[in-house]
Amino acid sequence: MIVEFVPAELRCEYLADPLGIDIACPRLSWVLQSAQRGQRQTAYQVLVASSEHILQRGEGDLWDTGKVISSDSAHIAYNGLELRSGQRCWWQVRVWDRHGVRSAYSPAAWWEMGLLEASDWRGTWISYDTKRKEAGLPAELETHDDASGLIPSPYLRTTFSTAQPIRRARLCITARGLYEARLNGQRLGNAVLAPGWTDYAVRIQYQVYDVGHLLRHGKNALGVILGTGWYSGCVGFDGRANHYGSRPQLLAQLHIEHDDGTAQIVATDGSWRATTGPILFSDLLMGETFDARLARPAWDTATYDDSAWMPVELAERDTTRLVACRSEPVQITEELAPRAIARLDADTHIVDMGQNIVGWVRLRMRGMAGTRVRVRFGEVLAADATLYTDNLRSARATDTYILAGTGEEIFEPRFTFHGFRYVEVAGYPGDLSADAVRGCVVGSAVPQAGTFECSDPMVNQLQRNIVWSQRGNFLSIPTDCPQRDERLGWLGDAQVFARTACCNQGVAPFFTNWLADVASGQSPDGAFADIAPLLRIDLGQDVSVGSGTPAWGDAGVIVPWTLYQCYGDTRIIAEHYESMARWIAYIQGANADNLWINRRGNDFGDWLALDGATPSELFKSATPRELLASAYYAHDVYLMARMARAIGRLDEAIEYEALFRASRAAFIKAFVDPDGRLLVETQTGYLLALGFDLLPSDLRTRAAARLVDLIKEKDNHLSTGFIGIGYLLPVLTEAGYLDLAYRILLNRTYPSWGYSISHGATTIWERWDGWTADAGFQAATMNSFNHYSLGSVGEWLFRYVAGIDVDPDHPGYQHVIIRPHPGGGLTYARAEYRSIHGTIVSMWRLAGNELTLHVTIPPNTTATVHLPVNDVSAVTDGATPIARSADVEMLPQTSERVVISPLQVKLIAKCAEVQAAAGSSSAKEGMTTSSHSFKAATTTC
Ligand code: BGC
């Protein structure tokens, strides 16, 4: 039931009740619900109080905005009394509706500040030198080799007493490496692989846990297991370890407040004790070996005797910034039961999880002490039904469990993850049954935002594959792939996929966090690196990770722009504005004539396109590198102009606008002949020229026609790589070739998304030819089956097929564009998107020549609805002719728009054109040329 027009879903910095915010003026948002069409907010009042009690009295002792005449309901920046470390802020909001009627206050929400000053941290970094010999440890521990990064996981603990009643207690904790924290035998929180990956030389995230309920009167024990993780384990290419340091370290601080107002702090210091235990090593790429015989039962409880443990080593804190975790932690987000289990031979089972996932398996077993169970992971099977692991390169991806022989044992690794659909289990004692195996799906716990479905099962599978690749590769940072050695935050992949990512999940905090590493990875002369976070030992070495690469470095501009568009977030622009401007200046510094010809970094081009000169040169796409670079440069400049305007830097906006015009002219002069033909014709060349609006209008039609010719020459197939693919279907649609766009979408023959799906893909492949019937697997040196880049078609499904889009002039879906594009023989499509203003739905159904469109937009928003019809007089809003609908405003025909007021609208149109267009291939018959538009106000139901 909807409570009439009361603000709900209160968020602070996009998060619900976040613990640990270190932003001085956090931003507040809410959504509105209403059953009335056209309902909107005309004013709001926010109260922020220092206690729940004060808030309940209707007072905001920290901040009371009073009645603010405004329709804003997102990104309201806190502007009250200065907040101190650890302060909890309770808040609520009420609004006034379009008739000036005041709502009740929302339920209370809160956020809590983290540690704002470096001096708030009392402890020192502590670590344990696992090279020390300890009596009774097995040979594996004594032969470990530091350079490999494969070291036993340190166990660290301390005890402390509390004598007085406790009001509250918070543990602030982080690691150089990974940690799992335990208090009095209980694991803290659900996060795994914490504190997450950042450039540890620059900033390290910490998490805050509310632990008051776990503390006991008397003696308590705090214990932490450390892993090497991204800090000192194997990361990137060739299994190289120790990128940021050589040994994991812990920094923790437990702050206890007693009822009488006194405080007690327990921090990492020389009193902690350390040892190693059953985790012989646990490495992100290599896997984990766990010898259960070495378990230390109850090691994390107060009564445990740690007298045989060793003292820890101390390291003074340096100036590395400690920052509160800005986004959702990595967690187990789902558990899957196996689809099938086959016995390969007497010793080996192959488990099919039915889905290519990222994470690990949890195994249940019973057996003799010392029994070794080895678990290996692969994305696909070889022709002989054995596990295919060649494409993992140096990543061993092997977990080993050595049984203690104590009855039922459960193994689940701690500081590793794998990319896999198939699991090879060797040495399992007995028959492996399905209920003994669980696939743990691991990734950043970002909320789902969008769903898409339509009448074509193959397209629905494509959408699922995109989402699974996003879930697997959005793991602390956006990675390229989850299975082989590498797993890096490649900027190119992130920028091509960012918009699709926003359609599927609420990724604003996730990208905001990652962008801090993009910015800190920028070179002093302004070049964005190819990856973020940087790998410190690679810097200055001759490795393929560089900087200043066209379409990769540009992520530094495109990702903030995308967040601005999808969330209306201007703070992200302001925070990154200088760094973006330096990137533009970096390109300008080495180039004349407003082109990007010189200094092009790694110059990957249209990575993995299929139009290279020879099959062995598959990286070498035919699209000229100068064209690609210059197109991106012009596009960046265009986005800079828009972003400068959005944050009120008008003089610079005007300069960038002029620069864009000059770049466009230079592009045309350098790469386009007078007939609108590119001097070197490729699909991606045309897609960039059209997608970035680099051609004059009189040449656009001809350029689009040439693009279509090139596609037809390939028998209506694509040939683009990472860079072109995201623009392919949008550009064709905008140019009036909707039917061809659908045709490419629905292809099942090679190369296409459908080809991979026909051959069992459950995630997006890195390469169109990852596996082909003719050639089998692509070269194992680079062949991931879980790379999201080619899944950037997802945004077309939302924005064009279902038709939910942002109005670039009203970012953040404050004014929504609904522009469905029925076609391709689909009989229905439906997308739902949880925007920062509330839920938007666009659903169309085609029956004969009748198109029914259901639209829902949240209160306090409006939408422009474009209908693919010629004759608006036949359109009804429910039973009412559209022209007479109270909440629908017909826009002039020339504007091709209609604006509806919010809420649920059901538009029915008789439109023969839709049917015709479904099978047609010419621009003339395309629907976008004949659309009518309406404007409507919000509704709810
Ligand atoms: C990665 C890509 C990345 C590329 C650079 C590859 O190894 O997997 O996704 O963008 O290198 O071209």
The residues near 273 (Cβ < 8 Å, ≥ 6 apart) are 156, 157, 158, 306, 309, 310, 311, 312
CB-CB neighbours of 491 under 10 Å? 27
492 in ligand 1 pocket by Cβ < 6 Å?
yes
| Atom 4 (ligand 1) nearest CA | 490
**Does the pLDDT of residue 809 top 70, yes or no?**
yes
**β-pair type (154-162, 273-276):** antiparallel
| Atom 12 (ligand 1) nearest CA | 604
**Does the pLDDT of residue 442 top 90, yes or no?**
yes
**Does the pLDDT of residue 419 top 80, yes or no?**
yes
Inter-residue contact 338 to 422 (CB < 8 Å) = no
Q: Token pair for residue 59?
A: 């007072």
- At 596-622, the pLDDT tens digits run 999 999 999 999 999 986 655 556 799
Q: How confident is the model at residue 543 (pLDDT cuts 50, 70, 90)?
A: low
Which atom of ligand 1 sits closest to the CA of residue 480? Answer: 9
CB-CB neighbours of 385 under 10 Å? 11
Q: Which of 491, 493, 786 has most ligand 1 atoms within 8 Å of CB, for mutation? A: 493
Query: What is the structure's pLDDT at 264?
Result: 96
Query: What is the structure's pLDDT at 544?
Result: 55
Cite the active site residues: 486, 766
Q: How confident is the model at residue 145 (pLDDT cuts 50, 70, 90)?
A: low
Q: Which of 481, 490, 778 has most ligand 1 atoms within 8 Å of CB, for mutation? A: 490
Query: What is the structure's pLDDT at 646?
Result: 98
Q: How confident is the model at residue 383 (pLDDT cuts 50, 70, 90)?
A: very high
Inter-residue contact 266 to 173 (CB < 8 Å) = no
User: Once rounded to an integer, what is the mean pLDDT over residues 412-440?
Assistant: 98
- At 146-160, the pLDDT tens digits run 567 899 999 999 999
* Phi, psi dihedral angles at 905 (to 5 degrees): -130, 135
- At 744-770, the pLDDT tens digits run 999 999 999 999 999 999 999 999 999
> From ligand 1's centre to the CA of 599, what distance in Å?
19
Q: How confident is the model at residue 877 (pLDDT cuts 50, 70, 90)?
A: confident
Q: At what angle do helices 683-691 and 697-713 cross, to 10 degrees?
A: 150
Q: Token pair for residue 762?
A: 């459950």
Q: How confident is the model at residue 132 (pLDDT cuts 50, 70, 90)?
A: low
CB-CB neighbours of 774 under 10 Å? 6
493 in ligand 1 pocket by Cβ < 6 Å?
yes
497 in ligand 1 pocket by Cβ < 6 Å?
no
Sign of CA dihedral 626, 632, 634, 637: negative
481 in ligand 1 pocket by Cβ < 6 Å?
yes
- At 657-686, the pLDDT tens digits run 999 999 999 999 999 999 889 999 999 999
Q: What angle do CA 891, 897, 899 make, to 5 degrees?
A: 70
* Cα–Cα distance for residue pair 383/737, rounded to 1 Å: 40
**Does the pLDDT of residue 916 top 50, yes or no?**
no
Write down the residue that tokens 């200065």 correspond to.
82
User: Once rounded to an integer, what is the mean pLDDT over residues 703-721?
Assistant: 97
**Does the pLDDT of residue 883 top 90, yes or no?**
no
672, 676, 679, 683 alpha-carbon torsion, rounded to 10°? 110
Inter-residue contact 470 to 533 (CB < 8 Å) = no
* Cα–Cα distance for residue pair 678/273, rounded to 1 Å: 68
Nearest to 505 by CA among 756, 724, 723, 328: 328
**Does the pLDDT of residue 894 top 70, yes or no?**
no
The residues near 79 (Cβ < 8 Å, ≥ 6 apart) are 25, 63, 65
Give the lowest-confidence range in 474-478, 707-711, 889-893.
Answer: 889-893
Q: How confident is the model at residue 888 (pLDDT cuts 50, 70, 90)?
A: confident
Give the lowest-confidence range in 76-80, 146-150, 493-497, 881-885.
Answer: 146-150
| Atom 11 (ligand 1) nearest CA | 490
Query: What is the structure's pLDDT at 149?
Result: 80
Give the DSSP per-residue string, 401-442: EE---SSSEEE--SS--EEEEEEEEES-SS---GGGEEEEEE
- At 202-256, the pLDDT tens digits run 999 999 999 999 999 999 999 999 999 999 999 999 889 999 999 999 999 999 9
Q: How confident is the model at residue 32 (pLDDT cuts 50, 70, 90)?
A: very high
Q: Token pair for residue 16?
A: 């619900």
**Does the pLDDT of residue 796 top 90, yes or no?**
yes
Query: What is the structure's pLDDT at 545?
Result: 72
> From ligand 1's centre to the CA of 796, what distance in Å?
23
**Does the pLDDT of residue 471 top 80, yes or no?**
yes
Give the lowest-confidence range in 157-171, 478-492, 915-929.
Answer: 915-929
- At 507-524, the pLDDT tens digits run 999 999 999 999 999 999
Query: What is the structure's pLDDT at 848?
Result: 84
480 in ligand 1 pocket by Cβ < 6 Å?
yes
- At 58-109, the pLDDT tens digits run 999 999 999 999 999 999 999 999 999 999 999 999 999 999 999 999 999 9
What does the radius of gyration of the chain's CA atoms come to, in whole angstroms?
29
pTM: 0.94
Nearest to 190 by CA among 328, 300, 290, 18: 328
> From ligand 1's centre to the CA of 493, what distance in Å?
7
Which atom of ligand 1 sits closest to the CA of residue 552? Answer: 10
Query: What is the structure's pLDDT at 868?
Result: 81
Give the lowest-confidence range in 109-118, 319-328, 906-915.
Answer: 906-915
Give the lowest-confidence range in 508-512, 795-799, 829-833, 924-928.
Answer: 924-928
**Does the pLDDT of residue 310 top 60, yes or no?**
yes
What phi-psi label fits residue 707: left (phi over 0), alpha (psi between -120 and 50 degrees) or beta?
Answer: alpha
DSSP letter assigned to residue 800: I
Query: What is the structure's pLDDT at 619?
Result: 65
Mean pLDDT computed over every residue of the chain: 91
Query: What is the structure's pLDDT at 47?
Result: 98
| Atom 5 (ligand 1) nearest CA | 604
490 in ligand 1 pocket by Cβ < 6 Å?
yes
The residues near 665 (Cβ < 8 Å, ≥ 6 apart) are 594
Counting other chains too, the contacts that 130-136 makes at CB distance below 8 Å and 24 or more residues apart are 130/154, 130/247, 130/276, 132/310, 134/275, 134/276, 134/310
Inter-residue contact 484 to 391 (CB < 8 Å) = yes
Query: What is the structure's pLDDT at 908?
Result: 54
**Does the pLDDT of residue 902 top 80, yes or no?**
no
Q: Token pair for residue 138?
A: 């097995």
* Cα–Cα distance for residue pair 543/34, rounded to 1 Å: 57
Q: How many CA atoms lie within 13 A of 535 on its CB side?
A: 28
Which atom of ligand 1 sits closest to the CA of residue 619? Answer: 12
Query: What is the structure's pLDDT at 539?
Result: 56
828-835 β-sheet, strand order: 450-454, 828-835, 838-847, 850-856, 905-910, 876-877, 880-881
User: Once rounded to an integer, what is the mean pLDDT over residues 355-372?
Assistant: 98
Q: Which of 480, 495, 723, 784 has most ligand 1 atoms within 8 Å of CB, for mutation? A: 480
* Cα–Cα distance for residue pair 638/3, rounded to 1 Å: 43
The residue type found at 254 is: L
